[in-house]
Structure 1
Amino acid sequence: MMLDLPKCDVQSQSDNKEVLIRVENVSKKFCRSLKKSLWYGIKDIGSELTGRKYEHELRPDEFWSVKDVSFELRRGECLGLIGRNGAGKTTLLKMLNGLIKPDRGSIEINGKVGGLIALGAGFNPILTGRENIYVNGSILGLSKAAIDAKLEEIIEFAELEEFIDAPVQTYSSGMTVRLGFAVAVVLIEPDVLLLDEVLAVGDMGFVLKCFRKIDLLIPKCAVIFVSHSMPQVSRIATDIALLEKGKPVYQGKNVSEGIDLYYSKFDVIPSFYVGELVQIISILINGQPSLDTTDTILVERLADIEIQITLKVSPQFKHPEPFLVFYDAEQRGIAEYIYEEKLPLENINGNVSFKILIPKVIFSKGLYSITVGLSESKDGPILMRAQSAAYFQVKAEKNLWTAFQLHGESTQVI
């Protein structure tokens, strides 16, 4: 959808500081009851028609989906909008795109808006992909000649050459997103781009293509990017806003601080799979117990991390071999530790205890989990694997979207 508002001259350098989005104290409420929602809607329409003032206070069964959100976004800036499911992110984007009306506050947008908010939104499932491109272009006020000029670029970007004349209802979710993204960024050439989880269903090749396109667009427009993938957010965001139950709990340009706060909102719940012959007694990270707790252990980047694990193992296994696997918050495997000491572990009266010291942890800042495993012997059958048995959070000044932040020395060459 496009809001065709007066477009400012983008040629001068001063326009790089132009405010394209201004949101002031915006709030939106919904009703949990369908019957009451219909009745409240009729009353609100009547109030507007008669000119009566209505303060939009909460009525029975109503709740604030978005409450008192304010921000400005300039050309060349990207706002990473994060929060748990139901925090109000999509509702805010729908108000920015003009799909729904705020109950309080004001929204000012300068320029054309390209939005990809809901999967398949704006597409007629019965029409073909080609026909939907023309329909969207016509709604946006583009002539057939203008659409023709960009048609091949849209099809090529969406990678739908073989399927463009098939009905959209036959498309997979990834194909639909590809077409929607291509229409939003190629056909519209937006001043304001709204993206809501559009990269969550694409394959890796298309995700990288989207990032390249967004990199080219950001200097020319303002972008609001909604995602649950913090590496993706830190990859492109210049600003960040964290919503919780509709309210902003963090706003600013310190993207890493906002992501840290986002991670802290989740309970740390281990997910165990333990073999019958092995039992985890305790796991200590830098001396702090990590079992049976929801507290996250903090580790400074480049500091040492000491992991001490005590297991109860069936006496028949004399020299078991432990291994550790580290995962990031997105559950991507980051690193693995394999026990390679010369002296094998001893099973002493059914107890196996060992300590691992990892010097100068180079993980980028973020939340990490440790999976603990034990095999019968080197390269032998696995006796136990405890997924996400312990968690720790790496603290650092900078936030990167890569898994590792390398530490080294550099000198100038003259």
Structure 2
Amino acid sequence: MMLNEIQDRQIDAQPENTDIVVSIENISKKFCRDLKKSLFYGVRDIATDLVGGRRKSDRLRKGEFWALKDVSFQLRRGEALGLVGANGAGKSTLLRIISGLIKPDTGCVRVRGRLAPLIALGAGFNPILTGRENVYANMSILGLSTKEINERFDAVVDFAEIEDAIDAPVQSYSSGMSARLGFASAIHTQPDILLIDEVLAVGDIKFKAKCYRRLHELNQQGVSFILVNHNTQAILNVCDSAVYLSKGQLVAFGDTGTILNQYEKDLFLEGRENTPGVLYLPKKLEHESLGLDLISIYFKSLEGDIVESIISGEPIIFCINFRAHKKFSDVNVHLKITELRKQGNPILFLSNKNDGKPFEAGIGEHEIQLKIPYLSLVPGAYTMSIKLKEGALGTLDLVESFKFTVKSDINMGISLINQQRSWEIASKQ
């Protein structure tokens, strides 16, 4: 069955609210990990359909698992929706069900309008055919006539920026070139709904920016799309709302910032929710110690209570407890904070040495307190490395990764920092 035929069948069952272009209703899909059993189940299901029998689609058979289970949400006209979740969460399976490439075992999908799926790197291209031939084949499958393709062909090639290779076989293209041509073909079908699955993860930065600008333009024109991208910053910048899937189940659906914060917290801080907000360090043996040993690390409020999550814009105290086995006259702390979802350059580096505040420490236990009157970090998940040094010498003790979350009581949008501020209006005489 051709893709446009599948779409026509779905479009016949239109949702009552014309503002809703995609309605996902209790979708479930199961797969079998065992190839032989999978083939056997497939043959048996076909035979059951042929004789008019009823499948037990809501039950798992031996070796099967739920790739999706009872997932429901809606996509509205002009809405940009991000689909997030770890590998194996069911994101690609869901997009394939929406596009009509596979059928759900239970539930139904209702689609209103022309749908353009871009859910594979090659965008369904035949590697033996040339780029030109693939554009015509691909766009015709998506419902365009030859006349319409002729009118848009030059615009497709111009957007993809592969004029020199358009008459070469696609098998000679790089992954970036294939993605460019696939994306260009999809957006020039004038779709009502776009499904985009990780294809923008390849290619150069300049072309990615070009694609996101075009997505914004299409969105302003009323085109809806669902975007899967492991770069959560891209989801945050582009999408109005988000769906969070975990192990085939819908965890949350709502505002993009809120959903991404929950996803990142689950992804990076799993298992820490029910433990005290203190990182305790194991006691070192005498031959392992360099004379100064970290004991514990935590945040606490101005009232002295230990806190697990800190609030953007609020005051906080960061505490480092250590034990000195001898006297130190120049103890220096180096803190490096990095956003977990980026894991690139640190966004904040703090050092008492740089601030001209060295510490002396005698034998015994001590607590260094870093008092922050206004936390400028935006909501998200972070990791901090902590190093204790003596003067300019080597590290005495360290913690490579102390993970923590930052929450907020206000909407930060796409800000990179929480700038302390106040607003007022003054009348001019």
Using the size of structure 2 for normalisation, the TM-score is: 0.81
Q: Letter of the aligned partner of 2:336 in structure 1?
A: V
> Hey, what does 1:11 align to over in structure 2?
none
Mean Cα deviation higher: 133-142 or 365-374: 133-142
Q: Does structure 2 conserve the Cα–Cα contact (< 8 Å) formed by 1:87 and 1:246?
A: yes
Structure 1 gaps, min length 5: 9-14, 289-294
Give the Å deviation of 1:94. Answer: 0.3
**Structure 1 residues 374 and 243 mapped into 2: Cα distance closer, same or farther (>3 Å)?**
same
Instruction: Please show how residues 24-63 of structure 1 align to structure 2 within 5 Å.
Output: 24-56=25-57, 57-63=59-65
1:407 to 401, 409, 420: 420
Q: Does structure 1 conserve the Cα–Cα contact (< 8 Å) formed by 2:327 and 2:362?
A: no
Identity between Structure 1 and Structure 2 (%): 38
Give the Å deviation of 1:313. Answer: 7.8
Q: Letter of the aligned partner of 1:72 in structure 2?
A: Q
Distance 1:161 1:321 in 2: 58
Distance 1:166 1:316 in 2: 73
Give the Å deviation of 1:183. Answer: 1.6
Q: Letter of the aligned partner of 2:153 in structure 1?
A: L
Q: Letter of the aligned partner of 2:409 in structure 1?
A: A
> Hey, what does 1:302 align to over in structure 2?
313
Distance 1:40 1:173 in 2: 35
Give the Å deviation of 1:127. Answer: 3.1
1:341 to 355, 377, 385: 355
Q: Does structure 1 conserve the Cα–Cα contact (< 8 Å) formed by 2:131 and 2:170?
A: yes
Equivalent residues, number: 397
SS of equivalent to 1:346: strand
2:333 to 315, 322, 331: 322
Distance 2:168 2:294 in 1: 55
Q: Letter of the aligned partner of 2:36 in structure 1?
A: K
Give the Å deviation of 1:404. Answer: 1.6
Distance 2:9 2:100 in 1: 16
Distance 2:396 2:241 in 1: 47
- Pair 1:113-2:115 in alignment: yes
Using the size of structure 1 for normalisation, the TM-score is: 0.83
**Structure 1 residues 143 and 101 mapped into 2: Cα distance closer, same or farther (>3 Å)?**
same
Give the Å deviation of 1:31. Answer: 0.8
Give the Å deviation of 1:298. Answer: 0.7
- Pair 1:387-2:403 in alignment: no
CA deviation map 1:88-133 (0-9, x unaligned): 1110100001110111111111211111212224012233333322
Give the Å deviation of 1:34. Answer: 0.8
Mean Cα deviation higher: 116-125 or 368-377: 368-377
Instruction: Please show how residues 10-409 of structure 1 align to structure 2 within 5 Å.
Output: 18-56=19-57, 57-186=59-188, 188-219=189-220, 220-252=222-254, 254-268=255-269, 280-286=294-300, 297-311=308-322, 319-330=330-341, 331-332=343-344, 333-339=346-352, 340-346=354-360, 348-349=362-363, 354-374=368-388, 377=391, 386-409=399-422
Q: Does structure 1 conserve the Cα–Cα contact (< 8 Å) formed by 2:299 and 2:307?
A: no
Give the Å deviation of 1:69. Answer: 1.6
Distance 2:122 2:307 in 1: 39
**Structure 1 residues 313 and 90 mapped into 2: Cα distance closer, same or farther (>3 Å)?**
farther
Distance 2:327 2:347 in 1: 33
RMSD: 3.4
CA deviation map 1:248-303 (0-9, x unaligned): 12223x33332232223235389x9xx98575432122279xxxxxx992111111
Give the Å deviation of 1:327. Answer: 1.3
**Structure 1 residues 34 and 335 mapped into 2: Cα distance closer, same or farther (>3 Å)?**
same
Q: Letter of the aligned partner of 1:360 in structure 2?
A: Y
SS of equivalent to 1:362: coil
Distance 1:125 1:402 in 2: 43
Give the Å deviation of 1:149. Answer: 2.9
SS of equivalent to 1:319: strand
**Structure 1 residues 314 and 44 mapped into 2: Cα distance closer, same or farther (>3 Å)?**
same
CA deviation map 1:201-228 (0-9, x unaligned): 3433233222211111124222112233
Mean Cα deviation higher: 109-118 or 295-304: 295-304
Q: Letter of the aligned partner of 1:324 in structure 2?
A: L
Distance 1:138 1:372 in 2: 58
**Structure 1 residues 368 and 343 mapped into 2: Cα distance closer, same or farther (>3 Å)?**
closer
SS of equivalent to 1:65: strand
Structure 2 gaps, min length 5: 271-278, 282-287
> Hey, what does 2:274 align to over in structure 1?
none
Distance 1:152 1:316 in 2: 75
Query: Bigger relative contact order, structure 1 or 2, given CA contacts below 8 A and separation 6+?
Result: 1
**Structure 1 residues 410 and 267 mapped into 2: Cα distance closer, same or farther (>3 Å)?**
closer
CA deviation map 1:385-414 (0-9, x unaligned): 643233233333325333223332223366
SS of equivalent to 2:423: coil
Q: Letter of the aligned partner of 2:297 in structure 1?
A: I
CA deviation map 1:38-93 (0-9, x unaligned): 01101110111111122312111111111112222221112222222211111010
**Structure 1 residues 52 and 4 mapped into 2: Cα distance closer, same or farther (>3 Å)?**
closer
